[in-house]
């Protein structure tokens, strides 16, 4: 545990909290033993990160309204951003995983990394309080936070799409590569973004990331989730009649 504590610049008074933050649910499920995993700390850490970053944005942009501040925050708490933070710490190498999860690439799975990062923030908060959690975020990631905030908004369609969808339902959109062609040095990828069982958009690019960004851009243009929302409203109205 010493190496991860050295990386984050924080020493835990209660090492059990650190161990819990790094324990994936697959471990208890696989071993059939009752042991704490990081789901509760992830839940808490999500709220702690949101509070700290909301306060920082409120202070940093005194002239901005709620809508703009919400967009900025969504860029900092998106899964993509949380994974960047986690990778800076090489957090995947410290996770305690079940054998099945480990064999299937769990150390690099974005959901595992983002969840573990939130759990780690929650553990620091429980162990040292709000100021310790704030220090954990800004001492380790202050420059990266500045970098993300400095990017033009049009460069973050994935974050904007997630914000639009989470205003309707808590589920996040999912991306998958549905096609690729060309030689290794000149590959082209096609990505698809789905949400709540519907395909919102497709996009192509010279990298998987670029393809996903273009898929999110098409989804924002087409706004197909509105069709689903309208259908659900019609059903609800008919049931009330």
Q: Is 118 a catalytic residue?
A: yes
Axis crossing angle, helix 130-150 with helix 110-128, rounded to the nearest 10: 140
Per-residue pLDDT of 202-219, as tens digits, reads 999 888 988 999 899 888
**Per-residue pLDDT tens for 122-155?**
999 999 999 999 999 999 999 989 988 887 665 6
Selected catalytic residue, list 46, 56, 212, 218: 46
The catalytic residue among 20, 42, 101, 118 is 118
169's tokens:
């339902």
CATH number belonging to domain 2-152: 1.10.1520.10
Q: What percent of the chain has pLDDT over 70?
A: 89
Whether 46 is a known active-site residue: answer yes
> pLDDT, tens digit, for every residue of 216-237?
988 888 888 877 655 555 445 4
Q: Quick check: 44 pLDDT over 70?
A: yes
Report DSSP letters for 46-57, one per residue: HHHHHHHHHHHH
What is the topology classification, in CATH, of domain 161-240? Double Stranded RNA Binding Domain (3.30.160)
Q: What residue ranges do the domains of the chain occupy?
A: 2-152, 161-240
From CA 147, how far away is CA 221, in angstroms rounded?
26
Residue where the block lists tokens 């998106």: 78
| Mean pLDDT (the chain, rounded) | 86
**Is pLDDT of 104 > 80?**
yes
H-assigned helices in 89-197: 99-103, 110-128, 130-150, 157-166
In 3D, which of 137, 135, 12 has the Cα closest to residue 86?
A: 137
Q: How far apart are CA 93 and CA 116, in angstroms?
A: 11
- Cα separations (Å) of 88 from 75, 114, 116, 143, 150? 17, 12, 13, 12, 19
Residue 66 has a pLDDT of: 83
Mean of pLDDT values over 171-176: 92
């Amino acid at each position: 545990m010493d190496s991860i504590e050295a990386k984050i610049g924080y020493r835990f008074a209660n090492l059990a909290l650190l161990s819990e933050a790094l324990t994936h649910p697959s471990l208890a499920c696989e071993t059939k033993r009752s042991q704490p995993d990081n789901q509760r700390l992830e839940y808490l850490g999500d709220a702690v990160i949101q509070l700290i970053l909301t306060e920082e944005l409120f202070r940093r942009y005194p002239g901005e309204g709620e809508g703009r501040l919400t967009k900025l925050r969504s860029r900092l708490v998106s899964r993509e951003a949380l994974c960047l933070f986690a990778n800076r710490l090489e957090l995947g190498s410290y996770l305690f995983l079940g054998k099945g999860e480990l064999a299937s690439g769990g150390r690099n799975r974005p959901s595992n990394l983002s969840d573990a990062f939130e759990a780690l923030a929650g553990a620091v908060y429980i162990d040292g309080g709000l100021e310790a959690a704030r220090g954990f975020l800004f001492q380790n990631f202050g420059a990266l936070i500045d970098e993300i905030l400095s990017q033009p908004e049009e460069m973050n369609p994935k974050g904007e799409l997630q914000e639009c969808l989470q205003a309707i339902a808590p589920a996040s959109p999912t991306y998958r590569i549905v096609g690729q062609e060309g030689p290794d040095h000149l590959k082209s990828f096609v990505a698809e973004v789905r949400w709540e069982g519907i395909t919102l958009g497709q996009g192509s690019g010279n990298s998987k990331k670029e393809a996903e960004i273009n898929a999110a851009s098409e989804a924002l243009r087409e706004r197909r989730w509105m069709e689903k929302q309208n259908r659900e409203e019609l059903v609800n109205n008919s049931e009330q009649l």
